[in-house]
Structure 1
Amino acid sequence: MKNKYTPTALALYFNYFVHGMGVIILSQNAANLAHQWGTTETGALAVVSSLGIGRIINLLVSGVLSDKFGRKPFVQLGIVTYFIFFVGILISPNTVIAYILGILAGMANSFLDTGTYPGLMEIYPNSKGTSNVVLKAFISAGQFFLPFIVSFLAATHMWYGWSFLIPATILVITFLYFMFGGAFPDSNSTSKTVEEKITNNNVKTNLWLDGTLFIIYGYISQATFYLVSQMLTQYGQKIGNLPQVAAHSLVSWYSLGSIICVLTTAALGKKFSEIQFVPVYTLGAFISLGLMWIYPTNANLMIILSLLVGFFAAGGVMQLALTVMAEFFPAGKGTVTGFFYTAGSIASFTIPLAINWIGNMRNVMLFDVIIALIGFIDTSLIAMRYKKMFGKLGK
């Protein structure tokens, strides 16, 4: 709390609390929005895909510009764009306008990413991984609370639009904070220490080798947890022959594992560096998924493995890997954020196609195991490069 930029960090975290709501707010209000737009619930849910399109459109560009013009303008731009989405959806007359607003929401997420992740790494240079992983906790908190808000509004027969105006109000508060203050560290000065470490070891970052390894993992990390999160219930029912309630509970255990990992990483962040976590977590994901593929019919084991997969694959390892990538390329934190998350966004588009093409749930799980293995190999190579560059593996 002695850090003078802590209020800025808190405002950044609350933006991601709102983002957590934004990710699921259309699906949570699908019935009401379908009535508003004169379409079916399926038609309303189709608008959700627009967020992914918007995210890809400007990630790379905003990342490069964030390094050039600073973090604050892109955080502010993200807040304004998200605000337009939340308010605009409530007055949108049809799915076409809603789809355009959804694209804006995806772009808002990209603006926030390229301003926030680098910004937090510069605010907390000695706890970069922990500060970024905590973002995931705020996203999860937003996703946790919104369904309760929606349910409360429905139960009390209140207007569903309040579920949009509540996050919009939070954005107004954070925007005013950044307008009248909200200072960020100088992004150029905070990168010099890491650059000096690399120079002192007489090893230069290999743009193509190191960049490719990280971009591959940007895709792999998203694909690994996206696959299992989308098919876990079906896998438990169709392959594991679990009762419906037990199969659905696997997702809850998976989510719990993710939350536990965030807390664990935050607690251990002072003792271990990000590069020490990443290969361990990717190995844990591979082993857990492998056991889930081998023993799908053991209900108790499936519960434990679901928790472990959530811990190792969805508990912040993606954010940790991004933090390590920023150490390799300290002068371009915004740029690397753009490239890294673009790879992840591509995974979100291509993995559903792979699931449909493979078809059989057991083979889909095997596919996820293979992807997780590639992820472990990839992060092990990154760890080797890190040791060569910095002379040691860890703090």
Structure 2
Amino acid sequence: MKNKYMPTAIGLYINYFVHGMGVIILAQNMDALASQWGTDNAGVAIVISSLGIGRLIVLMVSGYLSDKFGRRPFVLLGMLTYILFFIGILVSPSIAVAYIFGILAGVANSFLDSGTYPALMESFPESPGTANVIIKAFISAGQFALPLMVGFIVSQNLWYGWTFVLSIAIFIINGIYLYNKPFPKQQAEQVDDIVEEKEPRKIFSIEGVAFILYGYVSQATFYLVSQWLTKYGSDVANMGDTSSRALISYYSVGSLLCVFVTSALVKKKFQPVTFLVGYTFISFVALLIMWLFPTALVCTIGAFVVGFSAAGGVMQLGLTVMADMFPSGKGKVTGIFYTAGSIASFTIPLVTGQLSKTNVANIILLDVGIALLGFLLAIVIFIRFKKDRRSL
């Protein structure tokens, strides 16, 4: 039977196309923004870190309130706050002002996440993993399209802000579309009573700590690459401006392909937890090879592979597995998991901004270590998940 929430889901996914552009829009316009703000690449990286601060400020609260008041208000509020971010960056005269608007982008992302992920899991209860992973397809599509747009704008000597204007226009149109679309009723209160006696042992257990750390590591792994891959290609692999920007597009194609592969396998009853181990191991190996052999060919192939393994929905699958093991409020689970990711969004740009002053290659080396930690955490989660299933 046709799912009555499919039109709503389409609108929710479109938001993440714009979010995909928003995640990398500062890094892709680094030179233009550095000139506008009178700073250097490290200064722009500081502004990028503000997105993590914004997520951290409200994500836990918005997840709780999403369970209490519903998903729609937070989706719409996220769209509005994102619009303020895009406008604010265009008019910001300095790093200080831009930092404030960067915080708004993080807040917007938190609002969208706390409303969208639970809404999709509740709209498609038979396939929540697939519903969440498709979000990543739209993020990847936005990350694929933006570098092409920016490359065209640079080649034509046009104003850099046109991609910001396009993002604003999409949000406005989609907001009107979503305003009266139906949202599912959250079921957290009913679930709470059922699992209250069964789940308390997990709250402070190994599973919870592992998921929190995995939320940080999975975000850090692909976030670092998405922000610095272009610079790595140009400064370390000696690629030209167009080809180094194209690395993000290859990265996005990889992540987009992974969404379809993973979705198909999940439908064939492969458990989402299985992918956490395999994908994080592939990310580690690909990043290590990129660091050891920084050539144009290796970077091109590596960008695709890292996009497939680290940015193809593995974080969304991690959330799905966590929600399966802790089913007592999907909004709260989303808040906990993505709060860890928001800390990564804040800390990683600060660290990499300083590393960029020495050698951009050190940034990829840092990501190698982070990916290795992610692989180890994925093994722990896999073992604990299997043990939990056997105990049911």
1:333 to 314, 330, 343: 330
> What residue in structure 1 maps to residue 182 of structure 2?
183
> What residue in structure 1 maps to residue 267 of structure 2?
270
Separation (CA, whole Å) in 1 of partners of 2:158 and 2:283: 43
> What displacement does 1:321 show?
0.4
Q: How does 1:120-199 map to 2 (within 5 A)?
A: 120-149=120-149, 162-179=162-179, 181-188=180-187, 192=191
CA RMSD of superposed structures (Å): 3.9
> What displacement does 1:136 show?
1.8
Moved more, 209-218 or 250-259: 250-259
| 1:42 to 1:290, Cα distance in 2 relative to 1, 3 A | closer
TM-score normalised to the size of structure 2?
0.81
Q: How does 1:246-285 map to 2 (within 5 A)?
A: 248=244, 253-271=250-268, 272-285=270-283
Q: Which has the larger radius of gyration?
A: 1
1:130 alignment partner, SS class:
helix
| 1:160 to 1:244, Cα distance in 2 relative to 1, 3 A | closer
> What residue in structure 2 maps to residue 216 of structure 1?
213
Q: Is the 8 Å Cα contact of residues 140 and 255 (structure 2) preserved in structure 1?
A: no
> What displacement does 1:303 show?
4.7
Q: Deviations over 1:31-51 (max 9, x none)?
A: 77778x6x4364994644433
Q: Is the 8 Å Cα contact of residues 275 and 383 (structure 1) preserved in structure 2?
A: yes
Q: Is the 8 Å Cα contact of residues 195 and 330 (structure 1) preserved in structure 2?
A: no
Moved more, 52-61 or 283-292: 283-292
> What displacement does 1:207 show?
0.9
> What displacement does 1:155 show?
7.4
> What displacement does 1:6 show?
0.5
Separation (CA, whole Å) in 2 of partners of 1:158 and 1:340: 40
| 1:21 to 1:185, Cα distance in 2 relative to 1, 3 A | same
* Partner amino acid, structure 2, of 1:389: D
Separation (CA, whole Å) in 2 of partners of 1:104 and 1:54: 6
Q: Is the 8 Å Cα contact of residues 63 and 335 (structure 1) preserved in structure 2?
A: yes
Q: Is the 8 Å Cα contact of residues 90 and 161 (structure 2) preserved in structure 1?
A: yes
> What displacement does 1:176 show?
2.5
Separation (CA, whole Å) in 2 of partners of 1:354 and 1:211: 26
Q: Deviations over 1:240-284 (max 9, x none)?
A: xx5535993665544432222122112222012211211121222
> What displacement does 1:27 show?
5.2
Separation (CA, whole Å) in 2 of partners of 1:74 and 1:167: 19
* Partner amino acid, structure 2, of 1:263: F
Q: How does 1:1-395 map to 2 (within 5 A)?
A: 2-26=2-26, 39-40=37-38, 42=40, 45=44, 47-89=47-89, 96-149=96-149, 162-179=162-179, 181-188=180-187, 192=191, 206-209=202-205, 210-229=207-226, 242-245=237-240, 248=244, 253-271=250-268, 272-292=270-290, 296=293, 303-352=300-349, 354-355=351-352, 356=354, 367-391=366-390
1:309 alignment partner, SS class:
helix
Q: Is the 8 Å Cα contact of residues 261 and 311 (structure 1) preserved in structure 2?
A: yes
TM-score normalised to the size of structure 1?
0.80
| 1:290 to 1:190, Cα distance in 2 relative to 1, 3 A | farther
| 1:199 to 1:372, Cα distance in 2 relative to 1, 3 A | same
Separation (CA, whole Å) in 2 of partners of 1:369 and 1:34: 28
| 1:165 to 1:346, Cα distance in 2 relative to 1, 3 A | same
Tell me the percent identity. Answer: 54
Q: Is the 8 Å Cα contact of residues 31 and 41 (structure 1) preserved in structure 2?
A: no
| 1:83 to 1:68, Cα distance in 2 relative to 1, 3 A | same
> What displacement does 1:112 show?
0.4
Separation (CA, whole Å) in 2 of partners of 1:189 and 1:47: 36
| 1:392 to 1:259, Cα distance in 2 relative to 1, 3 A | farther
Moved more, 87-96 or 72-81: 87-96
1:132 alignment partner, SS class:
helix
| 1:229 to 1:191, Cα distance in 2 relative to 1, 3 A | farther
> What displacement does 1:94 show?
6.1
Q: Is the 8 Å Cα contact of residues 49 and 348 (structure 2) preserved in structure 1?
A: no
**Runs (5+) with no aligned partner, structure 1:** none
Moved more, 229-238 or 138-147: 229-238
* Partner amino acid, structure 1, of 2:112: L
> What displacement does 1:218 show?
0.8
Separation (CA, whole Å) in 1 of partners of 2:234 and 2:26: 27
Separation (CA, whole Å) in 2 of partners of 1:106 and 1:60: 13
* Partner amino acid, structure 2, of 1:207: I
| 1:33 to 1:230, Cα distance in 2 relative to 1, 3 A | closer
